[in-house]
Amino acid sequence: MIPLRDTIQSKSYPVINTALIAANGLVYLLQLAQGDRLHQFVVTYGLVPARYSVPAIATQFTLVEQAFSFLSFMFLHGGFWHLLGNMWILYIFGDNVEDRLGPVRYLFFYLLCGFASGLTHLFINWHSQLPTVGASGAIAGVMGAYFLLYPHSKILTFIPIFFIPYFIEIPAFFFLGLWFLLQFISAAGTPAGGGGIAWWAHVGGFAFGMIFLKILQRAPEFGLSRQIREKTSKKKSHRLQFIKPAATAGTGDDPPAYGTLVITPLEAQLGTRKLVNVTAGSKRRLFRVTVPPKSRDGTILRLAGAGEQLQNGTQRDLYLRVAVRD
C-alpha cells in the first residue's frame, strides 16, 4: 500500500515539516559528497549500539560524538529510495500534526520521537556493531500522533493488483494500525542484533509518539508558534477534493444529491477553480468546478449529469454545497 494523500488539510503552511524534509535532503547530499569516506561518516554519525555497550569501541569516540549521534542518525539515510519513502510519509502526515501542536512544539516532538526510537533500538540490539540510520523512527512517532489526532481521516492509497493500479480511501486508524501491526510482527520475527531494517525503532517511535503527543498537548503553546501561525496561515483549500454524494430531501422521485466543497474566505471572495473527484455508486468521475466570486457559505453549485444514474437511464444532477472555512 502506497499512501498518496490524506483528506485533512492543515490550516497553516508546515514550516517545520518542510524544513525537516529539506534538512534530510541536504544531509543526504552531504553523504554523497563523502566518496570513499562514506562508511566512516555513517559509523561516526549513525547510531551504533556497540559504541555504547563495548568499552573498547566506546573509547574511540568523544562524549560529544556519542551524544550527537542520537540526533544525527535520524537525518542520515541508506540510499535515495530510503530517503524518498521517509520524506513522502513525513510530507503526508507531518503537516497535520504540526498544525495541531504548533511549529515549536512539533519540532521538539519530532526530535523526541527520533531520540526515543534510537533508545529503543539501542537497548534491544545492545551489542550490534551495525550503524542504524534514517528518519523512520521519528516519522513513526508522527504517525502515532496522527493515529490519535485524526483516526477518521481518509488516506488515499495506491494498491497495485496484478499490475493494475487501484486507488482506495482507507480510514487512517485502519491504515496506521495495520502499519504498526506489520512493524511489530517484523520486529518480533527479527533476532536481536540482526541487520536490515530497524523494526523496533519503528515500534518504539510510534508508541512514544502517542505518549509524547499527550504530554505536549498539555504544554502551553509558545508565543513564537502563534506568530508563525499568523504569518503562514493558508489562504487556499485543497485543489483536489473527494466527494461522496449524499441524497437529501427533494421534490418528486428524483431528490437532489448534495456534496460539500470546502473553500477559504479568500477563495469565496475572489472565486476559485477546483478539481472534484465524485464517487457515484461504483464509478468515480473527475470534474472541474468553478466557484464564482463573492460566494457565500451555503451557496449551491449545480453539476449537470454528475450524480448517480436513475432507473430510466438518465443521469441525476449533483448539487454541491459550498462551505467557507478558515
- Supply the pLDDT for residue 249: 47
Question: For residue 156, is it left (φ>0), alpha (ψ between -120 and 50) or beta?
Answer: beta
- Supply the pLDDT for residue 253: 52
| Positions in the chain short of pLDDT 70 | 192-196, 235, 246-257, 280-283, 306-311, 313
Strand order, beta sheet including 2-6: 2-6, 154-161, 164-171
What is the C-alpha to C-alpha distance for residues 275 and 288, in angstroms, rounded to an integer? Answer: 5
Residue carrying the nine cell digits 555513517:
42
Domains for the chain: give ranges and CATH numbers. Answer: 2-232 (1.20.1540.10), 240-324 (2.60.260.20)
The answer to whether residues 117 and 208 touch, using CB atoms and an 8 Å cutoff, is yes
What is the C-alpha to C-alpha distance for residues 52 and 61, in angstroms, rounded to an integer? Answer: 10
- Supply the pLDDT for residue 260: 86
The answer to whether residues 133 and 77 touch, using CB atoms and an 8 Å cutoff, is yes
219 contact partners, CB below 8 Å, separation of at least 6: 105
Question: For residue 227, is it left (φ>0), alpha (ψ between -120 and 50) or beta?
Answer: alpha
Residue carrying the nine cell digits 523512520:
136
What is the C-alpha to C-alpha distance for residues 120 and 126, in angstroms, rounded to an integer? Answer: 10
